[in-house]
Amino acid sequence: MTPTPTGRATARSIADELRTEIRSGVLRPGDVLPTSRVLAERFGVTPKTVGSGIDLLKAEGLVIGEQGGRRRVRANKPIVWNLTKFERNGRRDSAAGDDWSTAIRDAGREPAQHVSVSTVPADEQVARWLGIPVGESTVQRVRIRTVDDQPYQLATSHFPSTIAAGTPLMEERDVSLPGGILAFIGYPQVQIRDEISVRMPDPDETERLQLPPGTPVAEHVRIGYGEAGPVRVMVTIAPGDRHKLVYELEV
């Protein structure tokens, strides 16, 4: 334990020692932390000081709180999301699932996608991505992607209504077609552009993805281009503790 000038533990020194135990494996993912009373006796402080130290670990995303007052070491099994292969030539869409779902199943996990569809005017950002006027109609598909029944991604796609109207993209379900829906309806993607940023989530993302405090997210924007220009933009919010993003490039 990190000593202080008086030899008395502080919230910071308690957090430092517990963090070391988590990272060294003494406290493993999923382990329940000792109670505040037990830790207070161990460190020679009040339960309030212990609580302040654990709050620091919660803010770092190392510890989560549960009902009943228990605190547990965060345990997540990240997925490897290979963005080089995702939606490229030879994509694995079928009636059983799209390219993303197939990759998750190949990794021995269980995917699901919960879909809602609406027609909305393009805001300034979406209009820039799609190269259309602000306010022009788009079809918006919002998918909450789960892995083993846990929310892993929030994916929101926008399509120009001139492309999506009257197609399976309007169906409020997890639609998957061989080669991808856009290729199936006559608008295959021939080029993609990715934009990735890392930030803290907003309150809606925190709620929908069930994010513990202190969890950053990656915002992955993928713009798909057809022969005549953009045909789709998809914005995926991916919790940082549940993903490893991979690119494989020839040099």
- Asked whether 28 and 62 are in contact (CB, 8 A), the reply is no
User: Which position has the token pair 């169906």?
Assistant: 171
Residue 3 has pLDDT above 60, yes or no: no
User: Which position has the token pair 């030899």?
Assistant: 7
User: Please, which pLDDT band fits residue 212 given cuts at 50, 70 and 90?
Assistant: confident
Average pLDDT, whole number, for the chain? Answer: 90
* Per-residue pLDDT, 2: 46
User: Please, which pLDDT band fits residue 248 given cuts at 50, 70 and 90?
Assistant: very high
Distance CA 102, CA 87 (A): 11
| HEC secondary structure over 171-239 | CCCCCCCCCCHHHHCCCCCCEEEEEEEEECCCHHHHHHCCCCCCCCEEEEEEEEEECCEEEEEEEEEEE
Q: Print burial letters for 96-113: b (CB count within 10 Å at least 16), e (below 16).
A: ebbbbbbbbeeeebebbb
**Phi–psi pair at 34, nearest 5 degrees:** -55, 155
Kindly state the average pLDDT of the residues 213-232. Answer: 94
Q: Cα dist. 51→11, 56, 60, 126 in Å?
A: 8, 9, 14, 44
* Per-residue pLDDT, 16: 95
Q: What confidence tens digit (pLDDT) does each residue in 31-49 have?
A: 999 999 999 999 999 999 9
Residue ranges of domains in the chain, CATH in brackets: 11-73 (1.10.10.10), 79-246 (3.40.1410.10)
- Per the rule left: phi > 0, alpha: psi between -120 and 50, beta: everything else, 112 is beta
* Per-residue pLDDT, 47: 93
Distance CA 199, CA 239 (A): 10
Kindly state the average pLDDT of the residues 164-168. Answer: 95
Distance CA 50, CA 43 (A): 8
Predicted TM-score of the model (pTM)? 0.78
Three-class SS state of 18 = helix
Cα 225 versus chain centre, distance: 24
Q: What confidence tens digit (pLDDT) does each residue in 63-106 have?
A: 888 878 889 998 778 899 999 988 876 666 666 678 899 889 98
Counting residues of the chain whose pLDDT is more than 90, the rounded percentage is: 72
* Per-residue pLDDT, 7: 54
Residue 5 has pLDDT above 90, yes or no: no
Three-class SS state of 139 = strand
User: Which position has the token pair 């306010």?
Assistant: 135
Residue 147 has pLDDT above 60, yes or no: yes
Residue 4 has pLDDT above 60, yes or no: no
How many Cβ atoms sit within 10 Å of the Cβ of residue 124?
9
| Residue 233 β-bridge partners | 158, 223
Residue 126 has pLDDT above 50, yes or no: yes
* Per-residue pLDDT, 209: 95
Counting residues of the chain whose pLDDT is more than 70, the rounded percentage is: 94
Kindly state the average pLDDT of the residues 219-242. Answer: 96
Residue 26 DSSP class: S
Q: Print burial letters for 217-229: b (CB count within 10 Å at least 16), e (below 16).
A: bbbbebbbebeee
Q: Which of 20-24, 152-156, 179-183 has the highest mean pLDDT?
A: 152-156
Structure tokens at 170: 């309007």
* Per-residue pLDDT, 241: 87
Specify the range with the lowest mean pLDDT, choosing from 7-16, 142-151, 217-226: 7-16
* Per-residue pLDDT, 91: 64
Distance CA 132, CA 161 (A): 11
Which position has the higher pLDDT, 226 or 251? 226
* Per-residue pLDDT, 95: 65
